[in-house]
Amino acid sequence: MQVNRTRAVAAVFAIATIVCGTSLAIGVAQPQAPVPQAAAAASNDLQRSVEVYGYNAAAKSGAARGEVIYYYKCWNCHNDYTRAAGSPAPTLKGVFSRPMLVTGDPVNDETVAKQIRNGSPQMPSFGTALKDADIADLLAYLHNGCCYEETRPPVNPWYRANAQNSPPMPERGNLRGGPSGMVRSAGGDRLEGIMVQLIAPNAVRTTVTTNQDGQYEFPQLLPGSYTLRIAKPVQFLPYQRDAVRVDNGAKFDDIVLQRRSETDFLPPTTDVLAQLTGAEWVWNLPGTAEEKQIFSRTCGEGCHDYDQIMRNQLDERSWRLMIFRMLHYSGSPLIVRGRQRGTLDEEEKIIKWLARVRGPDSQLGQLKVFPRAHGPATNVVVTEYELPHVLLTGHDVSGDSKGNVWYSSHRTPFLGKLDPKTGIVIEYQVPATPPGVLPGTHRIQVDKNDIVWASENWAHNLVRLDPATGDFTITPLIAGDEPLNTPGLGNFSIGPDLGVWFARNKAVQKFDSKTGKLLERVPFTSTNNANPYDNIVTDDGNFWAGGAPAGGGDTIEMMDTRTNKLLEVHSLSRDSTAAKGGFDKDGNPWFGGRGGALLELDVKAAQIREFWPPTPYVTFYEAMPDKRGEVWAGELHGGRMLRFNPQADHWTEYVLPEPYSHDRRTWIDNSTTPVTVWYVDHNSYLVRVQPRQ
């Protein structure tokens, strides 16, 4: 059955320039000052991770900020989907219109705040995780606006690209020729690995990194008034200059940075904690190798970043409730009770460890961070594009023949199309899911005719969008026996004949994209793999490959689609867990390993090869080879885009402007030289990485 509908929503928001209220004054300096000086103490509010860590992604205060807190603290148990699946939590819609709470207390601000702070037998106590101001904003939202709806995610106040402020920018080959300058310390040292960022009037962010001489050079930018800042200055105090005039070829005055600490350690202030990568969090916390590995494997698979966990300080009872929910319910929405992740012994160890290191009274010591970028890793341009909404939980990206980049949203009904030349995003709203089913798309793939295909993971539908007309076609595709609101149709691939490849139920399966009917089924013979997490197909359609199940495993499978001959291989590591990936130029499939390594199936040798990155405590959701055979992958929890040359066994880690690299699908534009790498971050922004060599 198919459903044809048309709906496209043009997202053009003219948002006023952000005014950040803070106790620290913003240092405003005019360019070309006669004497280089260190800027006055500046706000770091334009650091995205600082806003995310403080629940400020939609607003600084009030009900709009309260909606973000509700989303992270209340939605999972109190939403209508979870309640229909058996959650005893009451709906919070209209809570202040009721005479009493389920506890029997009268409903007012005091009693509701008390419930939030103290919890209940089935509700965590948030009194040590939320400040009074957080609870006040949450109450404001419960009074006015509750409750969060997936069809109306909060507007992103940082998105302001429109036709008036976003003329087309030069793209291809534009890696140099813009403003340049030098960064040094107050003591006169030239600083390598400092990320210098210019924010355009339309909020597009361009970041370059200083070389060993402290020098930086931007690509060509449109003339205008920009904000100049240091991205992720964690070891130094924030630096920001507003209203900086940009002209290509201009030389900026030296940027002089003040050290945050006179030692190699950093104080555990909120500003510092918000800039830590997840791997740096784990590195700095006490604990055994076993505790950290169990935490990484059970809590680091890619549903969220570690800061979503670590910004909380909870008692053991509350951690127990939280971890139980996370490990016993399906997918990232946690709506339906499902398989257990990990063992009960591992679950207990995670609870005890978190209660010890992030309990109400736990204290963080002085912190260390990983080294800054150096050498070839500084030779890169990173561009970040704002999206019209926050809380999108962006998942996959794909590019079309016109240069547009498309993204999926895991928990809203929106697909988005970015024009990189302007930064303007157009959103397309997928037709409504059946009543009681969460909207959201997972995989997105643009075919050779620029038709956009996506999977509705929770509704188990295949989505086809014709961008030329805005017409949607929705085709139910039942590949397994999973209930709705659990992962059912995720990482499919469309072959050149438009057949849909999606392995399930211990078999490679191919479906008709028009009808959803099963065309072929080839059972696995030796791996006993029920559900490989990914399905990848060569451009000619001759080979299919898949990895391990989402929950863990040690297999990679590959099939010749012309003969249905299967190759099924186990890795040396028992928990390599090949997740998502692609084929290299030699026909070998590569996958990001949730166990922490990049994984290659060497077809000729019939052997899985494991490649371990330099940075500790990172995992991989995906790996994608480019036209030259180099492999790219965002380091989950590492804040780095990794480039691996397997022939030379050489790693390059490009440090990103945010402590995130939540890359769940990389799209590589192989038409450029060097290649251009794209991903959409879980925190609702698109990232372009352009190496200069």
For residue range 484-502, list pLDDT tens digits in order.
999 999 999 999 999 999 9
Superfamily assignment of 434-683 in CATH?
Answer: YVTN repeat-like/Quinoprotein amine dehydrogenase (2.130.10.10)
- What pLDDT score was predicted for residue 11? 41
Mean pLDDT of 638-662: 98
Name the amino acid, one letter, at 653: E
Supply the DSSP string of 94-111, one letter for each residue.
Answer: TGGGSSB-TTSPBPSHHH
Mean pLDDT of 558-581: 97
Rg (CA), the chain: 25
Structure tokens at 182: 């030098």
If one counts every other C-beta atom within 10 angstroms of the C-beta of residue 275, the result is 26
Non-local CB neighbours of 508 within 8 Å, separated by 6+ positions: 501, 520, 521, 522, 524, 544, 546, 557, 559, 566
Structure tokens at 201: 């009037």
If one counts every other C-beta atom within 10 angstroms of the C-beta of residue 477, the result is 24
Position 345 pLDDT exceeds 60: yes
Structure tokens at 25: 């004054």
In 402-506, beta strands by DSSP E: 405-409, 414-419, 424-429, 444-446, 452-456, 461-466, 471-476, 493-494, 499-501
- What pLDDT score was predicted for residue 41? 62
Identify which of 566, 516, 203, 556 has the alpha carbon closest to the alpha carbon of residue 388.
203
The answer to which of 30-44, 406-420, 511-525 has the lowest mean pLDDT is 30-44
The answer to which of 126-130, 157-161, 165-169 has the lowest mean pLDDT is 165-169
Non-local CB neighbours of 326 within 8 Å, separated by 6+ positions: 298, 299, 334, 341
Calpha distance 398→622 (Å, rounded): 14
Non-local CB neighbours of 673 within 8 Å, separated by 6+ positions: none
Mean pLDDT of 276-284: 98
Kind and range of the H or E element at 272?
Answer: helix 270-273
pLDDT digits (tens, 9 = 90+) for 40-95: 468 899 999 999 999 999 999 999 999 999 999 999 999 999 999 999 999 999 99
Confidence band of 269 (pLDDT split at 50, 70, 90): very high
Positive/negative CA dihedral, 280, 286, 292, 296: negative
Structure tokens at 450: 């620029």
- What pLDDT score was predicted for residue 249? 87
- What pLDDT score was predicted for residue 5? 41
Instruction: Please report, rounded to a whole number, the percentage of residues in the chain having pLDDT higher than 90.
Output: 89
Structure tokens at 142: 């419960």
Mean pLDDT of 549-554: 92
Mean pLDDT of 405-417: 97
- What pLDDT score was predicted for residue 410? 96
Identify which of 634, 689, 677 has the alpha carbon closest to the alpha carbon of residue 659.
634
Q: What residues does CATH 2.130.10.10 cover in the chain?
A: 434-683
If one counts every other C-beta atom within 10 angstroms of the C-beta of residue 523, the result is 10
Identify which of 468, 422, 417, 426 has the alpha carbon closest to the alpha carbon of residue 163.
422
Calpha distance 594→555 (Å, rounded): 12
Strands 255-257 and 177-185 come out as: parallel
| CA-to-CA dists, residue 486 to 400, 435, 458, 614, angstroms | 30, 15, 5, 35
At the top level of CATH, which class does the domain 59-154 belong to?
mainly alpha
Structure tokens at 115: 């419930």
Calpha distance 89→121 (Å, rounded): 11
Sheet holding 215-219, edge to edge: 215-219, 177-185, 255-257
Position 12 pLDDT exceeds 70: no
Position 466 pLDDT exceeds 60: yes
Mean pLDDT of 129-145: 97
Q: b/e map of 659-681 (b: 16 or more CB within 10 Å)?
A: bbbbbbbbbbbeeeebbbbbbbb
pLDDT digits (tens, 9 = 90+) for 13-51: 333 333 333 332 323 333 333 334 444 468 899 999 999
Q: What is the 3-state secondary structure (H, E, C) of 674-689?
A: CCEEEEEECCCEEEEE
| CA-to-CA dists, residue 265 to 186, 259, 367, 659, angstroms | 18, 11, 5, 18
Structure tokens at 154: 């909060």
Q: b/e map of 131-170 (b: 16 or more CB within 10 Å)?
A: eeebbbbbbbbbeebbbbebeebbbbbbbbbbeebbeebe
Find out whether the peptide bond into 646 is cis, omega within 30 degrees of 0.
Answer: no
Kind and range of the H or E element at 511?
Answer: strand 507-512
Calpha distance 326→393 (Å, rounded): 17
Calpha distance 209→641 (Å, rounded): 14
- What pLDDT score was predicted for residue 37? 43
pLDDT digits (tens, 9 = 90+) for 301-328: 899 999 999 999 999 999 999 999 999 9
Mean pLDDT of 617-643: 97
Q: What is the rounded (10 degree) CA torsion for 262, 263, 265, 270?
A: -10
φ, ψ at 24 (rounded to 5°): -100, 135
The answer to which of 281-295, 452-466, 524-538 has the lowest mean pLDDT is 524-538
Q: What residues does CATH 1.10.760.10 cover in the chain?
A: 59-154
Calpha distance 386→403 (Å, rounded): 17
Hey, which residues does 611 pair with through a beta bridge? 598
Identify which of 492, 495, 395 has the alpha carbon closest to the alpha carbon of residue 448.
495
In 186-264, beta strands by DSSP E: 195-199, 205-209, 215-219, 224-231, 240-246, 255-257
Instruction: Please report, rounded to a whole number, the percentage of residues in the chain having pLDDT higher than 70.
Output: 94
Task: List the end-to-end C-alpha distance of the chain, in Å, as a whole number.
Answer: 49
Average pLDDT taken over every residue of the chain: 93
State how far Cα 430 lies from the chain centre: 21
